[in-house]
Amino acid sequence: MGSLHLPCVPTNPHSPFPTRYSPVQSMANVTLRNVRKTYPGGFEAIKGVDVDVGDGQFCVLVGPSGCGKSTLLRMVAGLETVTGGEIDIGGRIVNQVEPADRDIAMVFQNYALYPHMSVFNNMAYGLRNRGMKEAEVKTRVDEAARVLELTPMLERKPRQLSGGQRQRVAMGRAIVRQPKVFLFDEPLSNLDAKLRIAMRVEIRKLQRRLNTTSIYVTHDQLEAMTLADVLVVMNGGQVEQVGNPLAIYEKPATTFVASFIGAPPMNLMSTRADEIKSQLGGAGEAGILGIRPEDFVITDQTPAGGIALPLTVEAIERVGAETFVYGTRAQDEQRVAATPGELPPGEVIVRIPGSVAPPIGQKIRVAAVRAKLHLFSGDGRTRLGA
């Protein structure tokens, strides 16, 4: 995909330009207030979620599979009933509103294209259902096809398209409608790695250009970090943390967020281990200490207020620009609360730049400065200190 030019993009809703090409329709905040979902069997999929997505913002819901992120998105779309709380789109409570009347468009993981319709008709379907004049339908679809470089394929059926092209048709079907809100349900997970990165950039550019409020669900933390204005980290039907992606990366609120956001995951260790306790002093009572692999340096010195750990090198992973050193701490100790991406007890990952690494079996010392230490309560649910 090349450049994304829309001919006339008035960002002001009172623009004197004809509104035909105007992607900006109206203000559309999406606000979730204590939203809950309990299935008839008694299973609580969503346990009270509060999220506020401002007009034109790109919100990403991220979490491991089964955390309820897709369910939450489908509730916003109107495909799942809401059993508690309120969903507010553009100042209107939509709990009881049909999906068709919520002024939203959704891009599905499997694209959900109509297999019997041409690309043109796939995009035109939603417009025709709303009784739009055929000339207007054609203008809008042609414009979307031009933006998404689908013009030569308008007469083809979905089965004659590649995965990436289908994905773009699904995007086209959403943008022709010029809805208040775009909803994306893992739209890139069926694409290969290279295309996924390319489409990720395109989606972000397109969203910026159209300035349409968007909610995007993914389990890929890299996608989440790169796309989001507002990142919502979910786990077990609850929101763990909401905020700017970098702020979350720098100050994860719980050990779950700490290990989920960032790759490789943050090293978590119990502060009860003697070596750590002695170095942390009073703070040593906290419970769990987290240090990101990239915040370690291999050095013999101990920074003031920081921490130093003796390690035995167990494995080396060279990926070119950087190298991951897997080491075990001198003394083993109890496991830290189970979290995704958790390392075996006593194992520490250190990320060093370049490709020069100590040999396997060598004993090294790694250190991290005080500012890079993350302290959590013993259950991992609370962040301590700044």
- 79 part of the interface to another protein, by CB under 8 A: yes
Stretch that binds another protein, among 54-62, 99-107, 237-245, 312-320 (CB under 8 A): 99-107
**Minimum CB distance to another protein smaller for 26 or for 301:** 26
| Cis before 18 (ω within 30) | no
- 97 part of the interface to another protein, by CB under 8 A: no
Residues 186 to 245 in contact with another protein, rule: CB under 8 A = none
Q: 3-class DSSP state for residue 339?
A: coil
For the chain, where are the E strands, in sequence order?
30-38, 44-53, 58-62, 84-89, 92-93, 104-107, 181-185, 213-218, 230-235, 238-243, 267-270, 287-291, 297-298, 307-318, 322-329, 347-353, 363-368, 374-377, 383-384
Residues 101 to 130 in contact with another protein, rule: CB under 8 A = 104-106, 108-110, 112-116, 125-126, 129-130
**Minimum CB distance to another protein smaller for 188 or for 291:** 188
Burial of 65 (0-12, 13-18, 19+ CB in 10 A): exposed
**Minimum CB distance to another protein smaller for 99 or for 385:** 99
Q: What 3 state SS string does 147-200 have?
A: HCCCHHHCCCCHHHCCHHHHHHHHHHHHHHCCCCEEEEECCCCCCCHHHHHHHH
**Minimum CB distance to another protein smaller for 29 or for 118:** 118
- 4 part of the interface to another protein, by CB under 8 A: no
Stretch that binds another protein, among 74-82, 275-283, 291-299, 334-342 (CB under 8 A): 74-82
Enumerate long-range contacts of 15-20, CB under 8 Å, 24 or more apart.
Answer: 20/136, 20/139
| Residue count, binding to another protein (CB under 8 A) | 23
Return the number of other C-beta atoms located less than 10 Å from residue 342's C-beta.
15
Mask of contacts with another protein, 125-164, x by CB under 8 A?
xx--xx----------------------------------
- 77 part of the interface to another protein, by CB under 8 A: yes
Q: What are the Cα distances from residue 371, in Å, to 246, 254, 380?
A: 16, 17, 19
- Shortest separation between residue 215's beta carbon and another protein, angstroms: 14
Residues 175 to 194 in contact with another protein, rule: CB under 8 A = 177
**Minimum CB distance to another protein smaller for 173 or for 292:** 173
Supply the DSSP symbol for 131: T
**Minimum CB distance to another protein smaller for 112 or for 298:** 112
Give residues in contact with another protein (CB under 8 A).
Answer: 77-79, 98-100, 104-106, 108-110, 112-116, 125-126, 129-130, 173, 177
